[in-house]
Amino acid sequence: MKFGTKTIHAGLHPDPETGAIMTPIYQTTTYVQARPGDHRGYEYSRTGNPTRHALESNLAALENGKHGLCFGSGMAAIDAVAKLLNQGDEVISTNDLYGGTYRLFTKIYERLGLKFQFTSMADPSAVEALVNEKTKMLWIETPTNPMMNIIDIQAMVTIGKKHDLIVCVDNTFATPYLQRPLDLGADIVMHSATKYLGGHSDVVMGALISSNDELAERLYFIQNSSGAICGPMDSFLVLRGIKTLHLRMQRHSENGRAIAEFLKNHPEVEKVYWPGFEDHPNHQIAKKQMDDFGGMISFVAKGNDYEKAIRVVSSVKVFSLAESLGGVESLCGHPASMTHASIPKEEREKNGIVDALIRLSVGIEDIEDLKADLDQALKS
């Protein structure tokens, strides 16, 4: 089954009672049993809900995995992965990752006895040099947020297999439409389904997908025991969003390319970060593991000036200045004061997240309107 067909049909079936083609919203906490233990597959909605189960099956199919698990947010999904580890275990992670992930790792789990080493993952040999007997996991984000660096998933998987490490990939920016880490050997794929999967800025959710039966069993136990699940209404919204994922991602990618090229040639722009450019340092890896380059772009206005950056993001009219990404509407943000404010300034700037950096989530509006809006904002 091709990807576009999977988004509409994979894991989904008409309602057996009514024939309804859309998965019903099973807004219930509990399920009647004929006698103790004699039920139809569901006992309590924290443990399992038919609407959520349909979404989990659909997501597993999209990532070419066997098991899907949905959570109340992307952070709840990452939290579940961290709970696979024990006190004293170590994790190697990319150094320019999402600020919320960095905050969870350093402010919550370091206090509980985990150790995190943050490094550029552009050089696999440098990553392998950090592995020791306590290392248990590689945490990969590619493309990275917001610097748009690309990490070679297969190279990280090779290191992971050699040293018996769990390899996790945050695939939020790419989605399975553009990149499928399980096919490249990763153990777990994570999504903030709030973003492109939901696609309409109306739901907060996270997801994990794996083909590893043992890991999946442990994650199901954590999901049920910790209880950070999503509700049936949210599950329905993401299921509905996924039905147009392939169409939206195609347009996001087309508009992303057009905006990246527009910015690169704009006299008021100093630097553009987008992996589709041939001079991007990881372009060849992106070409190898992605089907296109998506709609996320970061750039620095001419002069690398903080006040200029604030003026630009405050002057847009079609784009909206807001947190988050991946919706049909175009958004712009200022990572240093918004999404990555929890990362110390020195660490941020070391990784390129300067105070003048602007991040764009390019939506699916008419491209000429988006260009005109950025042009007037840059000239403001």
Domain boundary assignment for the chain: 3-242, 245-378
CATH superfamily for 245-378 is: Aspartate Aminotransferase, domain 1 (3.90.1150.10)
- CA distances (Å), origin 366, targets 78, 237, 352: 35, 25, 31
Spatial contact of 51 and 25, defined as CB atoms under 8 Å apart = yes
Which one of the listed residues 79, 96, 98, 371 is annotated catalytic?
Answer: 98
List Cβ neighbours of 138 (8 Å cut-off, separation of 6 or more). Answer: 91, 92, 93, 127, 156, 159, 160, 165, 166, 167, 168
Active site residue 46: yes
Q: Is the pLDDT of residue 341 over 80?
A: no
**pLDDT digit string, tens, across residues 18-74:** 999 999 999 999 999 999 999 999 999 999 999 999 999 999 999 999 999 999 999
pLDDT tens-place string over residues 182-236: 999 999 999 999 999 999 999 999 999 999 999 999 999 999 999 999 999 999 9
Q: What is the pLDDT of residue 163?
A: 98
pLDDT in tens, 223-267: 999 999 999 999 999 999 999 999 999 999 999 999 999 999 999
Q: From CA 243, how far away is CA 142, in angstroms rounded?
A: 24
pLDDT band at 348, cuts 50/70/90? confident
What is the tens place of the pLDDT at every residue in 298-309?
999 999 899 999
- Provide the 10 A C-beta neighbour count for residue 158: 15
Among residues 19, 3, 5, 62, which one has the least CA distance to residue 209?
A: 62
Q: What is the pTM of this model?
A: 0.96
Domain 3-242 grouped into CATH 3.40.640.10: yes
Confidence of residue 346 (pLDDT cuts 50, 70, 90): confident
Which one from 6, 52, 180, 195 is the annotated catalytic residue?
A: 195
pLDDT digits (tens, 9 = 90+) for 82-99: 999 999 999 999 998 998
- pLDDT at residue number 362: 98
Max CA separation in the chain (angstroms):
73
The whole-number average pLDDT for the span 366-378 is 98
**What confidence score (pLDDT) does residue 308 get?**
94
The proportion of the chain whose per-residue pLDDT surpasses 70, expressed as a percent, equals: 100
Is residue 220 part of the annotated active site? The answer reads: no
Candidate list 31, 46, 240, 311, residue with the active-site label: 46
Average pLDDT, the chain: 96
124: preceding bond cis by omega (within 30 degrees): no
Catalytic residue among 79, 96, 152, 170: 170
Whether residue 147 is predicted with pLDDT greater than 80 in this model: the reply is yes
Catalytic residue check, 98:
yes
Residue 140: is its pLDDT beyond 80? yes
CA 308 to CA 290: how far, in whole Å? 33
* Whether residue 195 lies in the annotated active site: yes
Q: How confident is the model at residue 374 (pLDDT cuts 50, 70, 90)?
A: very high
